[in-house]
């Protein structure tokens, strides 16, 4: 398995020979393509519905296909299998068929009894939604968070409920975009400067 190690790489990672990415959104497509570019032998999107229901943008799917990402549609992961040292050695999946539409209006994936099989993978990337890291809110007294765990901050200034603490980007808005995070960083930097230079 290829490794990108510190200090050659700021974020050390191991690159799998066969990677499974769970999910069907833009982040899943990005993860699967990135795995290939880093040197993975095979990269699979594992998605429980069919191609028609993929939530990713059309061009993201097309680009993933062009780049060599493979798709396991109508496939539901049941469990990740690992060895004594907790290295991933496979993933048990079950095949699905589409049933009646659910609350989201999309046809619900229904597992087909007896169709379980083991997918031979050594890396699994979970790309099914993003949530805030609970560490900072949990350890910082007086920092107000909403029920999703996002820090409550003024969007124009980054000011939070705790004096001298500023926040912006995904931790405040929830999953958004680079440009919004950069704008929030800039606004917060201005507020921090004013705070530090105020008499
Ligand atoms: C796979 C993927 C693809 C994406 N593609 C796009 C795209 O194409 N275009 C786009 O606009 N957006 C994209 N996004 C969204 C975009 O990456 C985010 O909106 C953006 O990075 C948010 O920036 P941020 O600075 O708020 O948070 P982050 O980029 O998440 O940065 C937060 C940083 O804080 C660090 N951190 C966390 N806790 C602590 C701690 N306790 N102490 C110290 N450091 C800590 C983290 O390690 C991280 O480096 C994508 C997101 C993902 C996951």
Q: Which CATH number characterizes residue 29's domain?
A: 3.50.50.60
Q: Ligand 1 centroid to 94 CA: how many Å?
A: 32
> How many other CB atoms are there within 10 angstroms of residue 39's CB atom?
12
User: Mean pLDDT, the chain, as a whole number?
Assistant: 94
Together in a domain, 58 and 85: yes
- Alpha carbon distance 196, 26 (integer Å): 40
- Report the pLDDT averaged over residues 61-79: 98
Together in a domain, 40 and 64: yes
The set of long-range contacts for 5-14, using a CB threshold of 8 Å and a minimum separation of 24, is 13/38, 14/123
Quick one: tokens of 122? 């050594």
- Confirm or reject: Cβ of 31 under 6 Å from ligand 1: yes
Together in a domain, 99 and 160: no
* Domain boundary, last residue among 126, 157, 183: 126
pTM over the 0.85 mark:
no
Together in a domain, 11 and 104: yes
Residue nearest to atom 24 of ligand 1 (CA): 169
The set of long-range contacts for 110-114, using a CB threshold of 8 Å and a minimum separation of 24, is 111/76
Together in a domain, 78 and 143: no
Together in a domain, 114 and 152: no
Confidence of residue 95 (pLDDT cuts 50, 70, 90): very high
Residue 1: what pLDDT? 73
> How many other CB atoms are there within 10 angstroms of residue 151's CB atom?
24
Which ligand 1 atom is nearest residue 185's CA? 25
Together in a domain, 122 and 148: no
Q: Ligand 1 centroid to 116 CA: how many Å?
A: 35
Number of domains the chain contains: 2
Pocket test for ligand 1, best of 10, 143, 170 (most atoms within 8 A of CB): 170
Together in a domain, 104 and 141: no
Question: Could you list the residue range(s) of the whole structural domain that residue 172 is in?
Answer: 135-197
- Report the pLDDT averaged over residues 60-72: 98
Q: Ligand 1 centroid to 172 CA: how many Å?
A: 12
Residue 90: what pLDDT? 98
Q: Residue 135's Cα: distance from chain center in Å?
A: 18
Q: Ligand 1 centroid to 135 CA: how many Å?
A: 15
Residue 106: what pLDDT? 85
Q: Is 30 within 8 Å of 53 (Cβ atoms)?
A: no
Q: Express each pLDDT in 164-195 by its tens digit.
A: 999 999 999 999 999 999 999 999 999 999 99
Q: Express each pLDDT in 15-49 by its tens digit.
A: 889 999 999 999 999 999 999 999 999 999 999 99
């Amino acid at each position: 398995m290829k490794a990108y190690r510190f200090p050659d790489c700021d974020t050390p990672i191991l690159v799998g020979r066969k990677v499974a990415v769970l999910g069907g959104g833009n982040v899943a497509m990005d993860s699967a393509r990135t795995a290939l570019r880093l040197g993975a032998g095979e990269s699979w999107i594992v998605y429980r519905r069919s191609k028609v229901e993929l939530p990713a943008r059309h061009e993201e799917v097309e680009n993933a296909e062009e780049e060599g990402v493979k798709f396991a549609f109508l496939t539901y992961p049941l469990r990740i299998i690992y060895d004594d040292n907790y290295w991933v050695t496979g993933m048990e999946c079950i095949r699905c068929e589409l049933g009646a539409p659910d609350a989201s209006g999309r046809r619900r994936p229904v597992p087909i009894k007896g169709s379980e099989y083991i997918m031979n993978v050594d890396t699994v990337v979970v790309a099914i939604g993003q949530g805030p890291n609970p560490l900072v809110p949990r350890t910082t007294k007086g920092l107000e968070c909403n029920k999703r765990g996002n820090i409550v901050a003024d969007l124009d200034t980054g000011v939070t409920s705790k004096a001298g603490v500023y926040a912006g980007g995904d931790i405040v808005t929830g999953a958004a975009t680079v440009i919004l995070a950069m704008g929030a960083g800039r606004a917060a930097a201005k507020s921090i400067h004013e705070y530090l230079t105020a008499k």
